Each structure stands twice: as C-alpha cells, then as structure tokens.
Structure 1
C-alpha cells in the first residue's frame, strides 16, 4: 500500500499533494483488481488533481475561479471551496448510486460541476446494453416503451426507476419531454455530459445558487474528448448545447498564469501538465501504429 501511494504521489504535481487530506480514505479510481489508477501517466483523476488540487491549495483560488465563473456565464463571488471527488449525498437526482463529480467548486453565488477527461471518452448509458438475459432495458429512443427487466412503462428506463434526469433535461437542453425523441438525445457519451448538466441544475435549485457544468479536458488532437469538443459535446440538433461548457486544462492554467500572483507555481504546473499531455499523446500514437 505504501509503495502504491508513493507511485501516485510521484504522478501528481507536488503543489497538489496538500489537497488530499487523507490518502487512504480518498475515493481513488480503481481497476477491477482494486488497484489505484492514479499512478498511471494517462490517469484522468491524476491530471484533475494536478490542476484543481493545485488551485485548491493556492492563494489565487478565488480570483481564478471568479474568472472561470464569469467565462461560463455564472456569478462570481468567493470565498470559493474546491471538493475533489464530490458525491451528491442529498441524492438530488434520485439515483440509487449518486453521481460522483470529479470536482465541485462552490462560491457564495454559484457552483461549478466539473467533469474531467484526459485520454478517455465520456461514459454511456447502461440501459441500452444487453443484459445477462439477452434483453435491453431501453430501445435507444426516448419514447413510450416497457422495460422488459422490470415491466415498467416509461419514455426513459431511468425515469421508470425513479431517477429524475428528465425533470431537468427540458430546461437544460431545451427539449420537450412530451414528445418522442428518436434516437435518444442522450445517446453515446452525451449521456455523461447530460448527467453533469442536470446535476448542476439540481444543485442550483437546491442551494439557491447559479450553477454551471464544465467539461475539463486535455487539448490534444488525438484525445477523444478534445476531438468531440470541436464537433460539440452533444448532438448539434439539441439546442441546449450551452448546458455544459468545455474548457481545457491549458486554458485553465493560462487563466491562472494571467491572474495568479505566484507565477513560479503556475509556470511549473503548466510545464507539468504539458509534459503529461505530450507523453499521453505519444502513447496513443504508438498504440495506433502498433508500436
């Protein structure tokens, strides 16, 4: 265990270490063998801690988060707090297993729900996957249907299970819940962006704050999320594309370098993150070319 944590520390920006109060209790992302993944150079959790852990510990935190809030169209105003791997313990969306957000930044006027990606694409809805019985709980459309797994009739299999996504989707994505949508507007990795957008809407209502959902990503031509940002994180036919705002790690650090007092800190983080992105990009190129 000690060696495992040492490997993780070596893969995290030294300035971010203080953001993790209890290394054993921290909700690390793990593989099927229960091994911590943050020691890997391409770990999305690690690069999120690099950036937002450093920001959490920085005396520049409030002015930088004010600038990011203004950039995404919500009110600025500190003091700001940053929680890494925040879990919706209030179960605002009625999920049996509440969404765990990579980063929640909360100020006095607004909250930022931040999903962090590196070399991986977004997650997809499990309801269209073939179950062990060989059936799909959803046919891939938002339309009146019966879930063969539980016999519940609903337009969305998740709605039939009491999950409240479609209470917030109409406003967040400007979609009419009273009409069919074929295919479902939350198909593919748009599902993960939807979950963060509706959680932001739920937090805004619950806390009486403004809120925005952000997709923090590593800008590199070979990374799936970076490529998706160019086309739009959700289907272009969905009018509420502004429900989630993409912002690259490089842009976040550029804001920090522009506003921050401690230039040595932000220049060091910039070099650290750039090196990680270059290594991960080279790794993907080698895998693609069969090296």
Structure 2
C-alpha cells in the first residue's frame, strides 16, 4: 500500500474502511499533482467517508436513513443502498462531465442526494470566469445573451451547451425559465446547491421515487457552509427554501444514536468527529487553505 493510502487510512474513522472496496479504483479527490487529498485533516471527502462510509457498512444503515428521510420530508423505507462518490450513468442533466455526488442513498421509496462540506464554501458556476482571452462565457445574468466563445445564443450558457438544469429548476424553485433574472439567481454559491437539488429532482423522476437533496456539513462557526446553513443556503426569495436541506454531521450522529442499535459505534464516531472538527477549526483560524 502506498504512503498515500497509509496516510488516508489513518485519517479515516476505522469502521469506515470497509466502505471503500477497491482503494485503487475509488474516486479520490486529488490535487493538481494528482496526490490524494483525503489524508488531510480538513478534507471534506475524508469526513464524508467517516460518516457515510461508516453508515454504509453499519447494521443501523436502514434505521438511520429512514430517520434522515423523515427529517427531510421524504418517505422512509428500506432496504437502503448507499454509494460514495456516485456519478450518474444516465446523464440525466445532460452534463458532459456528470456531477459526482459525495453520497447517494436509495431506498424503496426515496433517494437522497448528499453533498458534503467541511471547511470550504459551496462551489460556483465557472461560466462567469474570464478565459485567457479575457472574455467570460456568461455575463452573470440569466438574460438573452451570446456566448462569445461559441456564438450560441441563450439565457444560460450551460443551457446553450445542452445542460438541462433549467428544465428542472421550475420543479424545484419558483422561477420561470422564460423570464429574465439579473443577476442570475445561481451565480454564486447557490449554484452548487441548485445543481444538487435539480439532480435530486431528475433522479426522482427517472426512478419514480421521492427525492431530496441534503447538504451535510460540519457545524462550527469557523466554517463558511455552517455559517450559511444557519441562515439559508438558497435565497428564500427563490421559493422552496427546502430545495436542499442542511443537516450537520453532529445532527446525523445524534439521529444515529437515537434510532440505532450499535451505540458504541456512534459514540466513538462522535468523539472522532469532535476531535477532527476541532483540529480543522484550529487550522482555519491560521489561514490554512480549505479543500474539498
């Protein structure tokens, strides 16, 4: 086993290791040098595996996921499957590179699309970033415009590329795809939460299941997503504020301790998370760059 994997294993809750399967084939988050990032204490992938990897292999999986389903307003009912780093094989949103979901839970009645955050904020749409030519593909508004790179006319440059977000947005948000919005309601961090919410809607429609999007986060005042979760991840003026439900890792562990049978497991995981969050918080106050 490489030094990378030795360090990664040390940074993962021991009970979660069995959820990985093939460590070489697993979709690890990597940096620009291709080094696996999950060995770092503030890795969002590592803390996601801590919690959802442990849940995946736990005897309490169905009980806990039933409770989470009720918490987010969809129907419980197992048996539940739980997949880490899931990528949509059906390309339901028409993305050239399908969104990789941190965790996907599927039961007999519902599906849960789970985006996991630790010390980092939500991701933003890349279309407003300037290219080497100095031009952005989108002007930052959802209005009729021409993509200077492709010459394609559309309100959303992603829609002009065949990406289907705005086909599902009316099902999730109170927005008219034929209307104009300046600036675009998903120009900032709301972009990532929108993308997960519409993916949940697409999965639900495709599989004939109820579906919900969840933002799992480490609850600490030093972390951007935690601060936003206490207010709202999505602007309430867009309608349907529950389009994506924030649930802290601490709350997930509390749920597991309330309904689960393996109390020793959840007590140990709770202590593991408390220590990891404390260490990551200490690093964030020193200006350490956050990673996903």
- TM-score bracket, normalised by the shorter chain, equals over 0.9
Can you list the C-alpha shifts for 1:138-192, whole angstroms capped at 9, x where unaligned? 1101011111110011010000000000000111111111210111010111000
CA–CA separation in structure 2 for the residues paired with 1:270 and 1:148: 51
The corresponding residue for 1:136 is 136
- Residue-pair matches, total: 288
**Post-superposition shift, 1:262?**
0.9
**Post-superposition shift, 1:286?**
2.5
The corresponding residue for 1:124 is 124
CA–CA separation in structure 2 for the residues paired with 1:235 and 1:244: 11
Q: How does 1:91-240 map to 2 (within 5 A)?
A: 91-240=91-240
**Post-superposition shift, 1:210?**
0.4
CA–CA separation in structure 2 for the residues paired with 1:230 and 1:173: 20
Deviation >4 Å, runs of 4+: none
Of 10-19 and 130-139, the range deviating more from structure 2: 130-139
Instruction: Give the aligned CA root-mean-square deviation in angstroms.
Output: 0.9
Tell me, what secondary structure is at the counterpart of 1:163? Answer: coil
Tell me, what secondary structure is at the counterpart of 1:130? Answer: coil
CA–CA separation in structure 1 for the residues paired with 2:150 and 2:169: 24
The corresponding residue for 1:75 is 75
The corresponding residue for 2:11 is 11
The corresponding residue for 1:271 is 271
CA–CA separation in structure 1 for the residues paired with 2:192 and 2:241: 13
Of 279-288 and 182-191, the range deviating more from structure 2: 279-288
CA–CA separation in structure 2 for the residues paired with 1:78 and 1:29: 30
**Post-superposition shift, 1:287?**
2.6
The corresponding residue for 2:262 is 262
Can you list the C-alpha shifts for 1:193-247, whole angstroms capped at 9, x where unaligned? 0000000000001000000000000000010000111221012321122110000
CA–CA separation in structure 2 for the residues paired with 1:236 and 1:202: 22
Can you list the C-alpha shifts for 1:69-122, whole angstroms capped at 9, x where unaligned? 011000100000100000011100000000100000000000000000000011
Tell me, what secondary structure is at the counterpart of 2:157? Answer: coil
CA–CA separation in structure 2 for the residues paired with 1:242 and 1:139: 28
CA–CA separation in structure 2 for the residues paired with 1:234 and 1:133: 32
CA–CA separation in structure 2 for the residues paired with 1:67 and 1:170: 28
| Uncovered stretches (5+) of structure 1, i.e. residues with no partner | none
The corresponding residue for 2:63 is 63
Can you list the C-alpha shifts for 1:227-276, whole angstroms capped at 9, x where unaligned? 11122101232112211000000000000011111111000000001111
CA–CA separation in structure 2 for the residues paired with 1:42 and 1:85: 18
